[in-house]
Homo-oligomer: A and B are copies of this chain.
């Protein structure tokens, strides 16, 4: 066990997998000698050699396309896209190729690739360094989408993703790379070291894809969250004193529907939280499923707390970011009903 930040934990997952499996290789913009703009791949090129962790041209489409080709050959490539905002030039490759290769070839070829990318806001990155595009992946059958909220999960989920034989989008909430952040931006930054899930095994372990975690038990209301918003939801519950059950989805595809349904049937109220803009966001699917499966248990409309339906604007970081006060307000509406 070592105390790790998210960055260390993700680095450790890559290191463990590169050590265990010669078919695992890591590439992307600035990930080689330099170790990545967020230092996630630091030391990997030096340790494992320049052909196992290297820089690529600035061409997200080319990165994913070559990764798919490598996957078809039999490797397990782990590609980094420097910011989730820049996945879109590769979106066609992900949707039309990675997601469908197994299906359309009748199982002859498949795409065991992992695409890591820092996502989300909270760092004054403006509209091109704050994107949360998870809904765009969730709608695409054939892709899996994983979003950890702490170092322990990050490492275990990333190992599971790399070992998975389907294409996995691994979204890293960059705002919590170096410490948990609960949306209370006026408060001093806290460190992972003080968080229990920063205790991370040094070796190989797996957190399975498709299993949510109940990070706080409660009876009065269910809050569904992932990534940074797990911490925001926890802060909102603590601050408001609401008896909230908070579920960290961990992967949105596959989705742990059982855990969600069980909780909402118990609490009868539900709030869905994400950073991405609201309209047709992943929260909509959660609402649709919850009302479908828990209709007769629900006592109030399911509330959504999300980014606004605008781009993410630089000066308005904290007006845009769905912080604890907006979650509290939503919980209160849901608890009140009507």
Chain A residues packing against B (C-beta within 8 Å): 85, 88-89, 91-92, 95-96, 100, 103-104, 127-128, 135-136, 138-139, 141-142, 253, 276-277, 279-285, 287-288, 291-293, 295-296, 298, 300-304, 309-311, 338
Contacts and interface: CB of A to CB of B under 8 A. Distances in A.
Given A104-B127, A301-B292, A141 B253 contact: no
A275 B103 CA distance: 19
Contact of A91 (B91, B280, B283, B284): B91
A241 B274 CA distance: 41
A288 B284 contact: yes
A276 B140 CA distance: 10
7 contacts: A89-B92, A103-B127, A103-B310, A136-B139, A138-B279, A284-B287, A287-B288
A338 B100 contact: no
A293 B338 CA distance: 10
Given A127-B100, A139-B135, A284 B280 contact: yes
A85 B89 contact: no
Contacts of A95: 88
Nearest to A310: B141
Contacts of A280: 135, 138-139, 280, 282, 284-285
Most chain B Cβ neighbours within 10 Å, of A288, A291, A296: A288
Given A103-B310, A141-B279, 4 more contacts: A138-B279, A139-B281, A284-B287, A287-B287
Nearest to A88: B92
